[in-house]
Structure 1
Amino acid sequence: MTMKANVLVIGAGIIGAVCALKLQQQGLQVSLIDAASPGCGVTAAGMGHLVALDETDQELDLCLFSLRLWQEFFAEHPGVGEASHCGTLWVAENEAQLTEAHHRAQRLNARLWRAEALTGDQVQKLEPALRQGLAGGVRVFGDSVVYPPLIAHFMAQQLVKQGGQLLLGKRVLSVDAGTLTFEDGSQLSADTIVVATGMDVARLLPEVAIFGRKGHLAITDRYPGRLSHQIVSMDYGQAAVSADALAVAANVQPRPSGQWLIGSCRQDQQIDTSLDPTALGAVLQVAMKLLPCLADMQIIRAWAGMRPASPDGHPVIGPHPILKGVWLAAGHEGLGVTTAMATAQLLADQIAGRPCEIDHTSYLPSRFFTMRSLKYA
């Protein structure tokens, strides 16, 4: 049996849930579909930072656009997702990192995202748990930390309250232009289908080239009042990759519960989410190098997950160049939570044929398709 809907969004992680709600608010009739429950996949395994990264101008554009949308959201819905507007303290361990930290402060301030360059003494005063002798850093005031599964759940419930539909326990077998086929043989058809399935994009649309980057996280027992900011090493995103394809840089978040969430690493050439003691140990070691007191704190849980990544490091947001009516919101790697709001807005604008607020061309799926494949598909 085939049923007809207006818009189908596959994947109720934070990207899919935010996209579904945004499209519903644009006057479309949306059904959000997931094989499990909202926020329980890739979204549940991540750290939940809302942070301005600036490795490229395009990345900073996307982050800042999204962060300002998040600020509007939290002003309207205070407390949703256990949001902590703690800011980020980027820590420099040497003079080279300190120079880059000060450049980061200049770049962010030039874009009206408040940042403050700090000396080593100022860093130590802000966070006494940090080891002594650091070169300095930069404090970014507008960054936040959230618990992503709660936000995905909230967005899905808002979708239903605003007239949308939530279809859970439905695993999609295949995606074609205008039609989804489920494992039980049933089908749904729609003019617009949005694929926001995280790692499952590789199964449903292998031509889009989404792949996994494994990461390890750990969380401590409750130690309230001992950390005020998200602590991130200036090595984050720049750490050298070892022979086993492992890159590690410290990222420690204070949770409202008093727990510390500890990451992070990126490991390619992995196909499952089983814990790797070597990788986890490396994550804990770099964190303890900045925050020595972690050595005396109790780790109560550790886990691994996969970040859906693209070959060029940019997310994939826009129309599938071959399958008419199929759209993608995928490949955000470690910035899915940060850029969820901007992704939803860019996608909604493209579907509606409106100009986008920022340049979206770097994110179009067509960049992964040769002219030959487009011509002869």
Structure 2
Amino acid sequence: MPDVVVVGAGIIGAACAEALSAAGVRVTVLDRGSAASGTTAAGEGNVLVSDKQPGPELTLALASIARWPALLAELREELGPDLAEAEWEPKGGLVVATENAEALEKFAALQLEAGVQADVITVADAVALEPHLTPDLATAVYYSQDAQLQPVLAATTLLAAVRRRGGEVRPGVSAVKLRSGGIETCEGFLHCDAVVNACGPWAGAFSEAAGAPITVLPRRGMLLVTAPVPFAVRHKVYDADYVGAVASADADLQTSTVVESTQAGTVLIGSSRERVGFDDSIRVAVLRVMAQKAIRLFPMLAQVPVMRAYGGLRPYAPDHLPVIGQDPRVPGLWHATGHEGAGIGLAAATGQLLADLYLGRPPAVDPFPFRVDRPAVMAHETDR
């Protein structure tokens, strides 16, 4: 019998399960689909501090970006390189502005005060870092802490550690409802002491079924993938509009330029954000806008064919902060959700924080801003 059942085998559920199992907690992970097949599979693998304003999320991001390389090193030692490969790349990030240099430089100064390594550089230095980047820029900021990993590999690595420690990962098993002493699943009742809601965009629906509704809404995002052009883009590069899109509460479509390479040499082009319920369909008109904006930053991309497009839903909380912790209304119910497009980067610290709270250890970061019973999350909406 497990001590804890984690519902959701994406990157957040996997990180929570790994952190709990590392402390000796018996864990079972359930997912109605296959592991890492939802939001995690639709992400870029961003591990960023550059896009976050000073505040609780940035604090969590700094803790996570420090934890990820150490955690992956520990798992490689425990599991071996074949089971613990996540394509970790501490590549650094480059944020550029084509106009209004003052706004980006002011934002970077605030981040610097908050502990981020943010260096304002000249346009010439930016082009030296990225030779294919347009020189038609107003300013640029280099973020050496930004990194990238392969999200599906990262999640499956975390889940492999859970299995190695005696835990279970059960794909194709739906959680139906909480009951006293455990959780009802499509395969029967599972006894446990606690249940973690790590259902991503579906966390709101799960919370309703559990009798403790929280406001977590789906927000759609899309990406383009080009044919391989090795070493064409060396860092994560995005325009300053991306920061505003991340922080926006607007439900309407927003696009901003994000360009980066993978280890396979393909180039990922993003990004879009749009609140359209659970509609995860791909819209060609949005992809066209994203491609046009990317070409403005990297003109050479006009000659590179696009191989495919993909997208998915991200779990959005109205105040743009994750929900991490115990629900005060239902004994044994915990939540780890609401990370929107930052879940990959925030996962390592989220798992550690949830495990700290569950075990009564001093938390790695202040949990108060992420508590379940805060107004923006408890103010239940019906437009899911």
The TM-score, its normalising length taken from structure 2, stands at: 0.90
- The one-letter amino acid of 1:190's match is C
Q: CA deviation at 1:175?
A: 2.9
Give the stretch that moved more between structures: 33-42 or 239-248: 239-248
Give the stretch that moved more between structures: 258-267 or 68-77: 68-77
Q: 1:8 to 1:371 in 2, by over 3 A?
A: closer
Identical amino acids, percent of aligned pairs: 33
How do 1:66-105 and structure 2 match up within 5 A?
Answer: 66-76=64-74, 77=76, 80-94=85-99, 96=100, 98-105=101-108
Matched, 1:17 2:1: no
Match of 2:175 among 164, 172, 176: 172
Match of 2:58 among 35, 57, 60: 60
- The one-letter amino acid of 2:268's match is L
Partner of 1:117: 120
- The one-letter amino acid of 2:47's match is L
Match of 1:346 among 353, 356, 370: 353
Contiguous gaps of at least 5 residues in structure 2: none
Give the stretch that moved more between structures: 322-331 or 70-79: 70-79
Match of 1:336 among 309, 334, 343: 343
Please tell me the root mean square deviation across aligned C-alpha atoms, in Å.
2.3
- The one-letter amino acid of 1:81's match is A
Q: Aligned with 1:280: secondary structure?
A: helix
Equivalents in 2 of 1:268, 1:371: separation in Å?
19
Match of 1:282 among 286, 289, 297: 289
Q: CA deviation at 1:75?
A: 4.0
Equivalents in 2 of 1:352, 1:296: separation in Å?
54
Partner of 2:224: 218
Partner of 2:252: 245
Would you say the 8 A contact 1:24–1:159 is kept in 2? yes
> For each residue in 1:187-239, what CA deviation from the matched residue of structure 2 results, as whole angstroms up to 9, or x when unmatched?
11211111101122122113111111111111011000211111111111314
> For each residue in 1:323-364, what CA deviation from the matched residue of structure 2 results, as whole angstroms up to 9, or x when unmatched?
101100001001100100111111111111223232211111
Match of 2:44 among 47, 51, 55: 47
Partner of 1:138: 141
Q: CA deviation at 1:241?
A: 7.9
Q: CA deviation at 1:368?
A: 4.2
Equivalents in 2 of 1:136, 1:111: separation in Å?
21
Equivalents in 1 of 2:10, 2:161: separation in Å?
14
Match of 2:152 among 137, 149, 153: 149
Q: 1:335 to 1:372 in 2, by over 3 A?
A: closer
Partner of 1:204: 206
Would you say the 8 A contact 1:263–1:283 is kept in 2? yes
- What is the aligned length? 367
Q: CA deviation at 1:145?
A: 1.0
Would you say the 8 A contact 1:178–1:326 is kept in 2? no
- The one-letter amino acid of 1:47's match is E
Equivalents in 2 of 1:281, 1:93: separation in Å?
20
Q: 1:242 to 1:73 in 2, by over 3 A?
A: closer
Match of 1:28 among 25, 30, 33: 25
Contiguous gaps of at least 5 residues in structure 1: none
- The one-letter amino acid of 1:25's match is A
Give the stretch that moved more between structures: 61-70 or 240-249: 240-249
Q: Aligned with 2:15: secondary structure?
A: helix
Q: Aligned with 2:241: secondary structure?
A: coil
Match of 2:166 among 157, 163, 166: 163
Would you say the 8 A contact 1:92–1:134 is kept in 2? yes
Equivalents in 1 of 2:170, 2:289: separation in Å?
40
> For each residue in 1:152-195, what CA deviation from the matched residue of structure 2 results, as whole angstroms up to 9, or x when unmatched?
111111111112122222111223454221234x1112111111
Equivalents in 2 of 1:109, 1:154: separation in Å?
33
- The one-letter amino acid of 1:29's match is R
Equivalents in 2 of 1:370, 1:14: separation in Å?
21
> For each residue in 1:286-325, what CA deviation from the matched residue of structure 2 results, as whole angstroms up to 9, or x when unmatched?
2122112211111101022111111111110011121101
Q: CA deviation at 1:372?
A: 11
Equivalents in 2 of 1:370, 1:35: separation in Å?
25
Equivalents in 2 of 1:243, 1:369: separation in Å?
15
The TM-score, its normalising length taken from structure 1, stands at: 0.91
Partner of 1:312: 319
Q: Aligned with 2:349: secondary structure?
A: helix
Moved over 6 A (4+): 240-244, 369-373
Q: Aligned with 1:253: secondary structure?
A: strand
Matched, 1:292 2:289: no
Equivalents in 2 of 1:275, 1:369: separation in Å?
30
Partner of 1:254: 261
> For each residue in 1:241-292, what CA deviation from the matched residue of structure 2 results, as whole angstroms up to 9, or x when unmatched?
8998111111111111110011101011343111112222222122122112
Match of 1:263 among 262, 270, 286: 270
